[in-house]
């Protein structure tokens, strides 16, 4: 299923694309407040448009806002025009946690991490649709810049099918292969081939860069482009494999997500043989 636009009118398309192009013009962008390719065009609005922005990201934010109390940007409109997606959304007040995190007191950190733990519990409690496998919120392909580059990842009918694709199609029959050739590969395949519970709705990129706060209060979770129905361990292993400039966050992951050391070991093996970067 293809994700649909939101308030996708001709007027919105022409207006917000023109504003985005104006605000990113080389002659004036030095004067414009922007976060990467997110442009803060108005006091309460911002426009996101990157090479990997999709309509599924907009639908994910709407889905989370409709099914939880998690603070996410309100999407005013989202559309695709000339091969590029634009999301016009609420600008949330606050700064991301990467700014000044190491200078915070332990009490301040604990207050924020406790809120984040509750947020993750609420996100993971959303019941999956009966027929969902591994897919984005609209039932289409997943996106994760850390996965090996290919035209599309899925959707997959099951977690096992997703795992088979992750290991380049190596069959489960190879579980009795020679460990001296590829140490850990047999364990990885056995892990992949076990019986799995239902997928869990997952943000997929919970670095400190994607959590906004004012003081000790979380005000928003942003950047939902990797969101979708994923294996239960995916949130943890993805959060642990943080941006190289965000390494301090690894020390915090176990404080807001249930530690999964074995699953992390398996994901490290998977990345070793079928890695991303």
Taking only the tens place, the pLDDT of each residue in 188-238 is 999 999 999 999 999 999 999 999 999 999 999 999 999 999 999 999 999
pLDDT of residue 26: 59
**pTM (2 decimals)?**
0.91
22, pLDDT greater than 90:
no
Could you give all domains of the chain from N- to C-terminal order, each with its CATH number?
10-90 (3.30.200), 94-277 (3.90.1200.10)
Site of tokens 């949130």: 235
- The CA distance from 207 to 210, in Å, is 6
Cβ atoms of residues 202 and 114 within 8 Å: no
Mean pLDDT of the chain: 90
Average pLDDT over residues 32-43: 68
137, pLDDT greater than 60:
yes
Structure confidence at residue 241 as a pLDDT band (50, 70, 90): confident
- The CA distance from 149 to 94, in Å, is 33
Taking only the tens place, the pLDDT of each residue in 47-82 is 999 888 999 999 999 999 999 999 999 999 999 999
Write out the two tokens for 219: 């005000």
pLDDT of residue 170: 86
Write out the chain in H/E/C secondary structure.
CCCCCECCCHHHHHHHHHHHHHHCCCCCHHHCCEECCEEEEECCEEEECCCCCCHHHHHHHHHHHHHCCCCCCCEEEEEEECCEEEEEEECCCCEECCCCHHHCCHHHHHHHHHHHHHHHHHHHCCCCCCCCCEECCCCCCECCCCCCCCCCECCECCHHHHHHHHCCCCCHHHHHCCCCCCCCHHHHHHHHHCCCCCCEEECCCCCHHHEEEECCEEEEECCCCCCEEECCCHHHHHHHCCCHHHHHHHHHHCCCCCCCHHHHHHHHHHHHHHCCC
pLDDT of residue 277: 47
pLDDT of residue 247: 85
174, pLDDT greater than 80:
no
Alpha-carbon dihedral sign for residues 193, 122, 134, 274: negative
Q: Which of 141-150, 176-185, 203-212, 262-271 has the lowest mean pLDDT?
A: 176-185
30, pLDDT greater than 70:
no
* Cα end-to-end distance, the chain, whole Å: 30
- The CA distance from 100 to 1, in Å, is 42
pLDDT of residue 97: 96
């Amino acid at each position: 299923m293809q994700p649909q636009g939101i308030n996708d009118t001709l007027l919105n398309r022409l207006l917000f694309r023109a504003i985005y192009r104006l605000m990113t013009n080389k002659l004036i962008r030095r004067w414009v407040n922007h976060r990467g390719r997110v442009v803060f065009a108005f006091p309460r609005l911002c426009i996101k448009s990157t090479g990997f922005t999709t309509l599924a990201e907009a639908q994910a934010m709407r889905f989370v806002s409709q099914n939880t109390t998690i603070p996410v940007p309100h999407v005013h409109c989202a559309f695709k025009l000339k091969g590029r997606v634009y999301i016009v959304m609420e600008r949330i007040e606050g700064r991301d946690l990467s700014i000044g995190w190491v200078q915070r007191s332990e009490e301040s950190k604990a207050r924020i991490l406790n809120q984040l733990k509750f947020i993750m519990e609420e996100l993971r409690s959303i019941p999956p649709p009966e027929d969902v496998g591994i897919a984005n919120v609209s039932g289409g392909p997943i996106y994760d810049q850390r996965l090996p580059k290919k035209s599309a990842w899925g959707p997959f009918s099951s977690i096992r099918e997703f795992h088979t694709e992750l290991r380049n199609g190596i069959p489960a029959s190879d579980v009795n292969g020679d460990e001296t050739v590829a140490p850990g590969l047999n364990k990885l395949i056995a892990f992949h081939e076990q019986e799995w519970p239902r997928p869990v709705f997952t943000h997929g990129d919970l670095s400190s860069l994607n959590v906004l706060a004012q003081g000790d209060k979380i005000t928003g979770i942003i950047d939902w482009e990797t969101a979708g129905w994923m294996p239960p361990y995916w949130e943890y292993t993805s959060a642990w494999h943080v941006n190289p400039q965000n390494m301090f966050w690894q020390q915090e992951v176990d404080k807001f997500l249930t530690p999964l050391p074995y699953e992390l070991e398996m994901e490290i093996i998977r990345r070793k043989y079928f890695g991303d970067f």
